[in-house]
Structure 1
Amino acid sequence: GTELRGAFSRFHPKDTVEVSEARGVKLKTEADGRMFPVTDDSNTIADCLREAARKAGVRVELRTSLLRVEKGSKGGFRLEVRNDAKNFILQTKKLLIATGSDRKTLDIVKSLGHTIIAPVPSLFTFNIKDKRIEGLSGVSVEHVTLRMDAITTRGALLITHWGMSGPAALRLSAWGARELFEKKYHARLTVNWLHDHSFDKALEILQRNKDWKENARRRVASAPAFSQIPIRLWRQLVDFAGEKNWGDVSKAELRKLAQELTAGEFEIQGKGQFKEEFVTCGGVSLKEVDFKTMQSRAVDDLFFAGEVLDIDGITGGFNFQSSWTTGWLAGNALGE
């Protein structure tokens, strides 16, 4: 959102890389802009944060839950927390809430006078039962284009036991999170297996394949016209051609195949099988937060950072970046 533009100008991805490497964590950037630790292990980041907290002398209370927050009559906050089956009270002058999308904490924030945008799941895979992808779990296509209504995403697509996953699908689930929620996760998905090829371009290539003399007696199913489509997927997409050779395919069948390759329609029939989604869409309304300091506009000395805010991004470090940025801004403001 526009609120984040100014925030990112003060702590941007290059700052994240520099801070991470200064703490011994090297990052890598994928071709599509996604960023990960070179170890490909999220524990690398968690260990880095724990070590930074230890060096800074931060007191960390594990297995502790926040039950209630009240604004003090003379300022500050009164926190009721629970640890090891015991309740106790904490008093603090300032409070930073960075609890992610925890529903109980959002209720507490609401009780303090904030507007909460109802959280819905984001970054999930799609349940799709369709004979064209049946039995193809593990097959991936590096560059596809997905469309759902007015939303378009591009990237790699992975076929799973239950449907579709991969960066392109996860991006679509993020950008269409609220729309999919409202549709109860039933929607029509259009797949262009050829990435940016138009129907006409695909038809032209298919026609050339048919006209090529050496192809005349080759079966359509065993002689793919496009190298980017894995042979197992190709065979199921052209199943309607049966045992036909390229030389026997009609113009109508070529058009049908071009349509299948550039605008194949699939029905999303639900979310994937993750018990918990990577992130949620929703949280504290951004209109009620000063993005120069991350301080609440409704409650003095109350600050927010991370996914407790109505911010969500696509997979590959984008949600982390918003958390690093808002956390850095809030931390600096709290330290003043």
Structure 2
Amino acid sequence: MGRRIVIIGGGAAGFFAAANLQQLPNDVEVVILEKSNKTLSKVKVSGGGRCNVTTSLDQVGQLVKQYPRGEKPLRNLFKAFGPVELRQWFEERGIPLKAEDDGRVFPTSDSSQTIIDCLREEAQRLGVKVMHGEQVVDLSQKPEGWTVTTSGGKLWEADLVMVAIGGHPKSAAYDWLSALGLELEKPLPSLFTFNIPDSPLLTLAGTSVPSAEVKIAGTKFSYTGPLLITHWGLSGPAVLKLSAFAARHLAEKDYQFQVLVKWDQEWNEDAVRNWVSENRNSQAKKKIVNCPLRPLTQRLWSTLMELAGIPEEMRWADLPKKSANKLINAMVSMPFEVAGKTTFKEEFVTAGGVKCSEVDFKSMQSRKLAGLYLAGEVLDVDGITGGYNFQNAWSGGYVAARHMVEQLKN
């Protein structure tokens, strides 16, 4: 009888682990069990089909701050295998990568299929078997290893098991893990946009500003970055990243809350008030509509004027104090009533999962159950948009793989 490693989940973490199970003894079989009929589906859609593989942010201290959950345990993981090592790994296999101005890293081919093909070829070269339609419903530890049971009643005996099932919106998806005694945090959505049905800006869908500050009223939660007005509310990196850091708070609010928008992070009320006052003097005869403050677009500026009750024909010299105050407030602290959320494209990210305290991040092995490894979004780790969630998956998969190899060599 030979030995076997079973990897549960054919996503980024699972496949990357399989692709790094090099130098295994010849008697070890590696099997990936995937519940659907396709693997690496999230890699396929990432970055609009280009695959945002990782980030160009290399310093571990800065890198871990991009994770609303998991910052502390990820330090050891990224020291062992971080973005630098990942980029080198792909380039050694003939997949050149490029960093864009915002720090996101993509294959130079601009095609996620390049990454998928590379991972599949590496796994195939190492003799990894991929089994589709195998949904795991039970996992039990035996004196000699593990038994994995799938929905069709099939039993897979294994010496080592790695769980890489990704994030799931419902706790029931993790029942077979909690049955093992693993503690879990309730899964919640992360990285979502804000639905604002009564927004006065819905007709401006597609309008953006490069560096807005978005704050959740009554809290310390705020984030600065590009902001996009949509036909359902607000989106863009500022909103997505804010939703990640405030995920648990917003879930408690049932996604009914108020946000305050300052359209440029450099503004403050005094500066904008002084700008209005100066325009009253220096631009007295000019129409207000023709003098937007950058980076506001003409359409956004016109709408803010309308909301402040300022006619398009009004000159700076004729601007009433009350209307000026309304305009200033709309520029530095415009309120929006959020009533729900929308998943960001196909890239569903979950906050929650198996608690980080359950895992030794130097090996990705369970602290309670020898021979059980966990990596990727199945853990209570999630990053902001920009390649961070994939980096967590790649790093966890790599470290788990190298430790499993050492275990079976001994």
TM-score (norm 2): 0.76
Among 256, 259, 267, which residue is 1:189 paired with?
259
Match of 2:91 in 1: 21
Match of 1:223 in 2: 291
Deviation at residue 39 of structure 1 after TM alignment: 4.4
1:202-221 matched pairs, under 5 angstroms: 202-212=272-282, 215-221=283-289
Partner AA of 2:164 in structure 1: A
Partner AA of 1:184 in structure 2: D
Q: Secondary structure at the match of 1:207?
A: helix
Q: Deviations over 1:262-306 (max 9, x none)?
A: 111111110116686520000101111111101101111101000
The CA distance in 2 between the partners of 1:273 and 1:296, in whole Å, is 31
The CA distance in 2 between the partners of 1:41 and 1:112, in whole Å, is 39
Match of 1:75 in 2: 144
Please say if 1:96 is aligned against 2:165.
no
Q: Deviations over 1:224-267 (max 9, x none)?
A: 1x221111111111112123222211344333322211111111
1:28-43 matched pairs, under 5 angstroms: 28-43=98-113
Among 111, 125, 128, which residue is 1:58 paired with?
128
Match of 2:178 in 1: 110
- The question of whether the paired residues in 2 share the 8 Å contact of 1:157 and 1:168 is answered with yes
The farther-off stretch of 103-112 and 151-160 is 103-112
- The question of whether the paired residues in 1 share the 8 Å contact of 2:139 and 2:147 is answered with yes
Alignment CA distance shift 1:37-1:275 (3 Å):
closer
- The question of whether the paired residues in 2 share the 8 Å contact of 1:119 and 1:283 is answered with yes
The CA distance in 2 between the partners of 1:69 and 1:127, in whole Å, is 40
Match of 2:238 in 1: 168
Please say if 1:9 is aligned against 2:9.
no
Match of 1:317 in 2: 387
The CA distance in 2 between the partners of 1:308 and 1:184, in whole Å, is 23
Q: Deviations over 1:164-196 (max 9, x none)?
A: 111111001111111111111011101110122
- The question of whether the paired residues in 2 share the 8 Å contact of 1:68 and 1:79 is answered with yes
Among 293, 297, 300, which residue is 1:233 paired with?
300
Identical columns (%): 40
Among 167, 192, 195, which residue is 1:124 paired with?
192
Deviation at residue 120 of structure 1 after TM alignment: 0.4
- The question of whether the paired residues in 2 share the 8 Å contact of 1:145 and 1:154 is answered with yes
Structure 2 residue runs of 5 or longer lacking an equivalent are: 1-70
Alignment CA distance shift 1:238-1:40 (3 Å):
farther
Alignment CA distance shift 1:275-1:260 (3 Å):
closer
Deviation at residue 107 of structure 1 after TM alignment: 1.3
Alignment CA distance shift 1:189-1:332 (3 Å):
same
Alignment CA distance shift 1:207-1:134 (3 Å):
same
Q: Deviations over 1:84-135 (max 9, x none)?
A: xx43111001110011024555211111110010100111111013453121
The CA distance in 1 between the partners of 2:99 and 2:340, in whole Å, is 31
Please say if 1:254 is aligned against 2:324.
yes
Match of 1:135 in 2: 203
Structure 1 residue runs of 5 or longer lacking an equivalent are: none
- The question of whether the paired residues in 1 share the 8 Å contact of 2:191 and 2:343 is answered with no
Partner AA of 2:180 in structure 1: L
Alignment CA distance shift 1:104-1:57 (3 Å):
farther
- The question of whether the paired residues in 2 share the 8 Å contact of 1:146 and 1:169 is answered with yes
- The question of whether the paired residues in 1 share the 8 Å contact of 2:199 and 2:336 is answered with no
Q: Secondary structure at the match of 2:226?
A: strand
TM-score (norm 1): 0.92
Q: Deviations over 1:111-164 (max 9, x none)?
A: 111001010011111101345312111111111111112111111111111111
Match of 1:201 in 2: 271
Deviation at residue 8 of structure 1 after TM alignment: 1.0
The CA distance in 2 between the partners of 1:88 and 1:61, in whole Å, is 12
Instruction: Compute the RMSD of aligned alpha carbons.
Output: 1.9
